[in-house]
Amino acid sequence: MSTTTAHGAGQGPEVNDPVQQRFEVVREHARADGINIVHYEPQFEPGSKAERRMTRTVASLFLLAGLAGTAFLAIYIWWPWRNEYGSGPDKLYTPLLGLTFGLALLFVGIGVLTWGKKLLPREVSIQDRHEGASKAEDVTAVADTMSYMADELGVKRRPLLGISLLAGLAPIGAVVAAPLVGGLISQPHKNNQMFRTGWAPIEDDHGGRKLVRLTREDGTPIRPEDVTTGGQMTVFPGIPGGAKNLHADSPTLLIHLRPDDAQKAREANERERKNGYMWGNYIAYSKICTHAGCPASLYEQQTNRLLCPCHQSQFHIVDNAKPIFGPASRRLPQLPLTVDDEGFLVAKSDFTETVGPDFWERP
Amino acid sequence: MTSDTPADRRGGRDRGLLARLRSGRSAPRSRGRRRLGAATRLLAALFLAGGAYTVFAPGLQAQDTPQLSSAAQEGKVLYDQSCVSCHGRNAQGVQDRGPSLIGVGAASVEFQVSSGRMPMARQEAQAERKPPVFDDTQTRQLAQYVQELGGGPQLPEGRDLKQGADVAKGGQLYRLNCSSCHAFAGSGGALSSGKYAPSLRPASDRQLYAAMLTGPQNMPAFGDNQLTPEQKRDIIAYVQETLKGDKDPGGFNLGRYGPSTEGLAIFVVGVTALVFASLWIAGKS
Amino acid sequence: MKRRKVDLKSMPAAAARGVDERFQVATPLRGLLNKVFPDHWSFLLGEIALFSFIVLLLTGTFLTIFFEPSLREVTYDGSYAPLRGVHMSAAFESSLNLSFDVRGGLIMRQMHHWAALLFMASIVCHMLRIFFTGAFRKPREGNWIIGSLLFWVGFLAGFTGYSLPDDALSGTGLRIASAIMLSIPVIGTWVTSSIFGGEFPGDIIISRFFIAHVMLIPALLLALIGAHLGLVFKQKHTQWPGPGRTNDNVVGERMFPRYAIKQGGYMLLVSGVIALLGGLFQINPIWLFGPYEAAVVSAASQPDWYVMFLDGSTRLMPGWELHIPIGDGYVIPPIFWPTVVLPGILVMLTIAYPFIEARMTKDKASHNLLQRPRDVPERTALGAMAVSFFLVLTFTGANDVIADKLRISLNAMTWAGRIGLIIIPPLAYYFTHRICLGLQQHDREVLVHGVETGIIRRLPDGRFEEVHQPLAQVDEHGHPQELPYIGWTVPKKMNRLGALGPAVKGFFFPIEKPVDAPVSPGHPPVSSGPDREEIGSGHR
């Protein structure tokens, strides 16, 4: 093992070895930069069997990487990639790409790292830190110059300049901010949108009010018998685009309670002066959780609980959808129901409470 | 106050309603027996029976037995062995042990028995799926027996209930009606206080259909007026063909539990692998 | 027409000279070449974040070429049959097309998402390393602040990116985000309405998030990362104490060639792992979630893991609504506290921590040597407390999945989280503190008495005692001299002293070589300098 330790400067280098000479040059340069290479040790004797083996290992890693890369290209080009329904070979397209791409990168990476770790000499160098503040000379130079500049500007002697500059700059700052703020800002209570949903009766020009029908997602109206006892249905306002995200506050859960549960719900309604909100054994609550706005729609038909899957708020359906567990603090708003002349369910009015998550100015 | 009239007018329970729609013969009888409020019907039955009021009930029961079809009679034998302790003789239910099965229909029986939920091993908050106790024929016989006892919803024939269905429509219906409890991939989810919506992976076409139709346990029922038979078939097709049949195109799906297992994977696989790599890189070898 | 012969050999030198004459690169290059970096595995955690950021930039650029940031309604007609004919936004459609109709698009999407998770995961691991070793102390407070800002900016990058496909899961997340903004007292509705351009969801949020996600936030990240690395470079990396290592030097390898090669190799490994994850593990299957519709939700709706702690805190918060009975009455909803106030406190606490600690310990010195976590029990215990707090919240963020798969009641899980959030962090503090003290004590014992040899000796009076191999020289009475603790690993096994022959590296445990192996000096290559007493980081 020919070790080129750097311990002791007196241990003069072997002058005949050109590599050695060049290393000494490099070390001298490093020393000038405050770096002391104290240990420098090739891990293999040049040309030794072990070194050749290591070289072969690294080389084969690179070749393997090339192989994996070629495989990637071959798969990319020739493997059936068009998505087919079922379990065809196309389902392996992405995994195979990932496998070959990943392996190619790993092989190169391991090869490079082995090269660096095994074939390069180990070294330990020590570099001085230059800690703390700048040189005292620099500090005074900067400080003197700065104070001289301040004098020259005469901010102290001519205070008007400073004040007027600030006064002038302030509006300019506002000018920069104004288009951004002014462009973005949007009145939140336009058209009373925070308190109004798609269920509000449609007023025509003659002062007549048309109640909004409960509809399915495809817009078809709903008769009471469409919902089984112990069943639930997500309903949307029967207005154009009522089931679209434009009316994100409108989705409502229509529930057909069992007669005894319905009786309890009616009594609870009466306690809250919501007489007549139910129609028969049908009750409808906003599907939009009053906590964070997720669709609270995990209806348990035997326990009459409604669970929101986002934060696990639980509402008691037969008790005015009172929150009984979890982070929600407010009842789900109830939609007053009735049936129109043609026997379809309609909303008597809009929700009488604010739909969706709470906010500051909700009365 | 119009609030309670419509329900009464239509006879309250839709199971009764459905039963009447599906098997007109037996449904009114079961409803008449269950609903004491329909006194006029009782009187009519009395009149027809031509006997004293006190012998009315046994008289009806006595009439039941000879009317059973042969399959139902086989079912009755099975029922008397395995179900009678909780659901009582003639399926009228036992207080605090098992509900009445009058009017639940063959669909419900087939769902509960074929998925092994019934017979229950012990009283639990929620019946779990187990290996079924009865084979297909026995299940049908039991279902036939309960059907003939009190009517109720029935399943269409056949094992494959998704032929010609539209998976895209099924997907939309699934996401609107089912995914809130059973999750986007049908892997199930938690409900309040230890209850849960089961995974749909082991469910057969008939079980899916029956579950939608009858609303077992805490699941809301989706009658044929709400989800038409075609829509039910669409949903079944989506569950069976897309969720189960269409393999994941992006590699191992991590159980399709969403971001929670993905987050676990990045630490267990990604960070762990790279920390080992850094140990190797920085190690003195 | 004589062609001059090109001297190939001297070409590089000539070219280099030409470049230098114009740009004077040799001077800065000299500083770069001659720069020493210390080497330790834990110093590479931050690199994972850096390299996954590079992967994020590359894959992200690919994705922008195909993504359409628009909420315009379209009808899907791509190759994924179960969604054909479904109405959806152009954003969702183009994300589906990226997954199914762009060749190799799915692996890019998945690599991008995995790289994002890895980016955040490695930032957290890196921050923990910095915290527990005291690397944030003077003069590096500034870099600590930049680092913690990087977490939050990365958080924003992740959230905006997660929202872009406009699938049902991310749409639900966006709706929760709007509820969080709404909950801010006084200005909540104005903020929400301004960001969404009206009521949720509006029709512009995706394009706003897009420009934030592909330009504003990456530019900010790039600037912060640049400043972060520049400061590391300027201030030089910290190092572990040890023989020859002082507060005023750096012991390690020069940047070139070995250190740079290691960095390059590690970058390839990180990209390779991301590529493997991206191909072999499916992430965010938006085609199963479907397009976002306000009425659609899935059980187990969760955000990505680095947002999960906020989801968890929201789940644990009891439904306490604050009413302010002025005028019509005003409301502070319960969601405000765990999602606005809590992160606010967390940001402030992390930023202020280096200054708080310096003030508490009255420590104004510069520190370039790291501390072993056991040597600063209070800080380590505080860190354990913070980690346990974060973990309780994160696991609560997935409590419905845990409840469902382990058959635990969901309500019980919530209560366990509420109680756990109060009880577990103090317990973590206490136990970590005790463990640190115990480890410290054992180190000191070994320094005083020597290494346990495993040899039991019977004394003349019948007592048994274990023979210890002293670490220091023995005085005239045969008692070992007490060695000072230098803040670095104390050898606790005989082979670490060379007495048993060197340990061969095994994967998890070192494999002992037979005794007849050549005895190694067993010391780190640098012989201890005269200034080693400098290192004592005497925190007690």
Contact C132, C379 (CB under 8 A): yes
Give the 3-state secondary structure of residue C315. helix
Nearest CA to C501 among C482, C481, C519? C519
Please, which residues have CB within 8 angstroms of residue C128's CB and are 6 or more apart in sequence? C383, C387
CA distance A270 to chain B (A): 12
Task: Give the β-pairing of A231-237 and A212-215.
Answer: antiparallel
Nearest CA to B258 among C230, C311, A11, A196? C311
Higher pLDDT, C1 or C364: C364
Q: Examine the domain organization and report whether A98 and A70 are in the same domain.
A: yes
What is the model's pLDDT at position C183? Answer: 93
The reply to whether omega before A121 is within 30° of 0 (cis) is no
- In chain C, positions 450-509, which contact chain A (CB-CB < 8 Å)? none
Taking contacts as CB-CB distances below 8 angstroms, the residues of chain A near B176 are 217, 234
Q: B91: alpha, beta or left, given left = phi > 0 and alpha = psi -120 to 50?
A: left
- Residue C89 belongs to a domain with what CATH number? 1.20.810.10
Q: CA-CA distance, C28 to C25, in Å (whole number)?
A: 6
Tokens 């409604």 correspond to what residue?
A306
Q: CA-CA distance, B12 to B6, in Å (whole number)?
A: 8
What is the model's pLDDT at position A4? Answer: 43
- Residue A305 belongs to a domain with what CATH number? 2.102.10.10
Q: Looking at the domain assignment, is residue A175 inside a domain?
A: no
Q: Looking at the domain assignment, is residue C443 inside a domain?
A: yes
Q: Examine the domain organization and report whether C439 and C478 are in the same domain.
A: no
**HEC profile for chain B?**
CCCCHHHHHCCCCHHHHHHHHHCCCCHHHHHHHHCCCCHHHHHHHHHHHCCCHHHHHHHHHHHHHHHCCHHHHHHHHHHHHHCHHHHCHHHCCECCCECCCCCCHHHHHHHHHHCCCCCCCCCCCCCCCCCCCCCHHHHHHHHHHHHHHHCCCCCCCCCCCCCCCCHHHHHHHHHHHHHHHHCCCCCCEECHHHCEECCCCCCCHHHHHHHHHHCCCCCCCCCCCCCCHHHHHHHHHHHHHHHHHCCCCCCECHHHCCHHHHHHHHHHHHHHHHHHHHHHHHCCC
Q: CA-CA distance, C331 to A356, in Å (whole number)?
A: 14
Tens of pLDDT along C418-456?
Answer: 999 999 999 999 999 999 999 999 998 888 888 888 888
Taking contacts as CB-CB distances below 8 angstroms, the residues of chain B near C169 are 184, 258-259
Q: Examine the domain organization and report whether A16 and A65 are in the same domain.
A: no
Q: Which two tokens stand for residue B255?
A: 């159980």
Dihedral angle over CA of A253, A258, A263, A268, nearest 10: -30
The reply to whether omega before C425 is within 30° of 0 (cis) is no
Instruction: Tell me the count of A-C CB pairs closer than 8 A.
Output: 305
Q: Examine the domain organization and report whether C349 and C381 are in the same domain.
A: no
Taking contacts as CB-CB distances below 8 angstroms, the residues of chain B near C42 are 278
Q: Examine the domain organization and report whether A11 and A53 are in the same domain.
A: no
Contact A295, A302 (CB under 8 A): no
C538 band by pLDDT with thresholds 50, 70 and 90: very low
Q: Looking at the domain assignment, is residue C55 inside a domain?
A: yes
Tokens 């008449």 correspond to what residue?
B32
Inter-chain CB proximity C118 and B275 less than 8 Å: no
The β-bridge partners of A160 are: none
What is the model's pLDDT at position B160? Answer: 85
pLDDT at C500 over 90: no
C-alpha pair distances (Å), C47 with each of B16, B20, B276, C89, C137: 68, 71, 14, 38, 20
Is C253 within 8 Å of chain A by CB? yes
Contact C158, C60 (CB under 8 A): no
Q: Examine the domain organization and report whether A111 and A12 are in the same domain.
A: no
CA distance B144 to chain A (A): 23
Q: Looking at the domain assignment, is residue A164 inside a domain?
A: no
Contact A298, A315 (CB under 8 A): no
Tens of pLDDT along C447-495?
Answer: 888 888 888 888 889 888 888 887 777 777 777 777 888 888 888 877 6
Q: Report the Cα B78 to chain-centroid distance in Å.
A: 20
Give the 3-state secondary structure of residue C98. helix
Inter-chain CB proximity A300 and B12 less than 8 Å: no
Taking contacts as CB-CB distances below 8 angstroms, the residues of chain A near B193 are 303
Among the partner-chain residues A217, A231, A325, the one whose CB lies closest to the CB of B221 is: A231
Report the pLDDT averaged over residues C6-11: 78
Q: CA-CA distance, A133 to A141, in Å (whole number)?
A: 14
Which structural domains are found in chain B, ordered by start?
Answer: 68-154 (1.10.760.10), 157-248 (1.10.760.10)
Taking contacts as CB-CB distances below 8 angstroms, the residues of chain A near C249 are 126-129
Q: Looking at the domain assignment, is residue C423 inside a domain?
A: yes
Q: Looking at the domain assignment, is residue A126 inside a domain?
A: no
Q: Examine the domain organization and report whether A342 and A246 are in the same domain.
A: yes
Q: Looking at the domain assignment, is residue C24 inside a domain?
A: no
Taking contacts as CB-CB distances below 8 angstroms, the residues of chain A near C297 are 294-295, 297, 309-310
Q: Examine the domain organization and report whether C499 and C404 are in the same domain.
A: no
Inter-chain CB proximity C41 and B185 less than 8 Å: no
Q: Which two tokens stand for residue C124?
A: 């957290």
What is the model's pLDDT at position C280? Answer: 95
Tens of pLDDT along A34-58?
Answer: 889 888 888 888 888 989 999 999 9
Q: Examine the domain organization and report whether C97 and C234 are in the same domain.
A: yes
Closest-CA residue of B relative to C394 is B260
Q: In what order do the strands lie in the sheet with A322-325?
A: A298-300, A305-307, A314-316, A322-325
Inter-chain CB proximity C400 and A309 less than 8 Å: yes
Q: Examine the domain organization and report whether A17 and A102 are in the same domain.
A: no
Tokens 């007196």 correspond to what residue?
A10
Q: CA-CA distance, A360 to A29, in Å (whole number)?
A: 68
Q: Looking at the domain assignment, is residue A129 inside a domain?
A: no
pLDDT at B34 over 80: no
Q: Examine the domain organization and report whether C443 and C487 are in the same domain.
A: no
Q: CA-CA distance, C140 to A131, in Å (whole number)?
A: 12
Identify the H or E element spanning C245: none
Residue numbers of chain A with a pLDDT score lower than 70: 1-16
Q: Examine the domain organization and report whether C500 and C531 are in the same domain.
A: yes
Binding site membership of B: which residues? 83, 86-87, 178, 181-182
pLDDT at B164 over 80: yes
Inter-chain CB proximity C169 and B181 less than 8 Å: no
What is the model's pLDDT at position C243? Answer: 82
Taking contacts as CB-CB distances below 8 angstroms, the residues of chain A near C342 are none
Contact C237, C43 (CB under 8 A): yes
Inter-chain CB proximity C172 and A99 less than 8 Å: no
Question: End of a domain among C449, C483, C503?
Answer: C449
Q: Looking at the domain assignment, is residue A263 inside a domain?
A: yes
What is the model's pLDDT at position B53? Answer: 43
Q: Which two tokens stand for residue C240?
A: 């572990």
What is the model's pLDDT at position B122? Answer: 73
Q: CA-CA distance, A162 to C449, in Å (whole number)?
A: 71
- In chain C, positions 158-177, which contact chain B (CB-CB < 8 Å)? 168-169
Please give the tally of structural domains in chain A: 3
CA atoms within 13 A on the CB side of B231: 17
* Mean per-residue pLDDT over chain B, rounded: 77
What is the model's pLDDT at position B32? Answer: 44
Binding site membership of B for heme c: which residues? 83, 86-87, 178, 181-182
Q: Examine the domain organization and report whether A31 and A77 are in the same domain.
A: no
- In chain C, positions 44-73, which contact chain B (CB-CB < 8 Å)? 44-45, 47-48
Q: Examine the domain organization and report whether C332 and C464 are in the same domain.
A: no
Q: Examine the domain organization and report whether A230 and A305 are in the same domain.
A: yes
- In chain C, positions 92-111, which contact chain A (CB-CB < 8 Å)? 100-101, 103-104, 106-107, 110-111
Question: End of a domain among A121, A149, A166?
Answer: A121
Q: Looking at the domain assignment, is residue C70 inside a domain?
A: yes
Report the pLDDT averaged over residues C153-163: 95
Q: CA-CA distance, C284 to C53, in Å (whole number)?
A: 19
The β-bridge partners of C88 are: C74
Question: End of a domain among A121, A145, A178?
Answer: A121
Q: Examine the domain organization and report whether C148 and C285 are in the same domain.
A: yes
Q: Looking at the domain assignment, is residue C59 inside a domain?
A: yes
What is the model's pLDDT at position B55? Answer: 42
Inter-chain CB proximity C273 and B256 less than 8 Å: no
Closest-CA residue of C relative to A294 is C172
The β-bridge partners of A286 are: A252
Q: Examine the domain organization and report whether C336 and C391 are in the same domain.
A: no
Nearest CA to C307 among A310, B187, B274? A310
Please give the tally of structural domains in chain C: 3
Nearest CA to C110 among A301, B41, B250? B250
In this prediction the ipTM stands at 0.90
What is the model's pLDDT at position B44? Answer: 52
Q: Looking at the domain assignment, is residue C15 inside a domain?
A: no
Question: End of a domain among C350, C368, C386?
Answer: C368
Q: Examine the domain organization and report whether C506 and C363 are in the same domain.
A: no
Q: Examine the domain organization and report whether A114 and A54 are in the same domain.
A: yes
pLDDT at C207 over 70: yes
Q: Examine the domain organization and report whether A213 and A117 are in the same domain.
A: no
- Subunits in contact with chain A (3 or more CB pairs closer than 8 Å): B, C
Q: Looking at the domain assignment, is residue A70 inside a domain?
A: yes
- Helix, strand, coil distribution of chain C in percent, nearest 5: 60, 10, 35
Q: Examine the domain organization and report whether C231 and C306 are in the same domain.
A: yes
- Mutation target among A228, A302, A317 for the B interface, most CBs of B within 10 A: A228
* Mean per-residue pLDDT over chain C, rounded: 88
Inter-chain CB proximity C295 and A312 less than 8 Å: no
Q: Examine the domain organization and report whether A83 and A28 are in the same domain.
A: no
Taking contacts as CB-CB distances below 8 angstroms, the residues of chain B near A50 are none
For residue C421, what are the domain limits?
Answer: 372-449
B284 band by pLDDT with thresholds 50, 70 and 90: low
Among the partner-chain residues A128, A244, A328, the one whose CB lies closest to the CB of C248 is: A128
Higher pLDDT, B25 or C376: C376
- In chain C, positions 301-360, which contact chain B (CB-CB < 8 Å)? 301-306, 308
Q: To 10 degrees, what angle do helices B136-150 and B27-34 make?
A: 70
Q: Looking at the domain assignment, is residue A185 inside a domain?
A: no
- In chain B, positions 202-261, which contact chain C (CB-CB < 8 Å)? 238, 242-243, 246, 248-254, 256-261
Report the pLDDT averaged over residues C335-354: 94
Closest-CA residue of C relative to B243 is C288
Question: End of a domain among C344, C368, C392?
Answer: C368
- In chain C, positions 378-397, which contact chain B (CB-CB < 8 Å)? 394, 397
Contact A78, A90 (CB under 8 A): no
Closest-CA residue of A relative to C250 is A127
B41 band by pLDDT with thresholds 50, 70 and 90: low
Q: Examine the domain organization and report whether C311 and C262 are in the same domain.
A: yes
Nearest CA to C51 among C109, C141, C126? C126
pTM: 0.88
Closest-CA residue of A relative to C34 is A30
For residue A4, what are the domain limits?
Answer: 1-41
Taking contacts as CB-CB distances below 8 angstroms, the residues of chain C near B247 are none
Q: Looking at the domain assignment, is residue C31 inside a domain?
A: no
- Mutation target among C54, C175, C216, C393 for the A interface, most CBs of A within 10 A: C175
Q: Examine the domain organization and report whether A324 and A264 are in the same domain.
A: yes
Contact C430, C415 (CB under 8 A): no
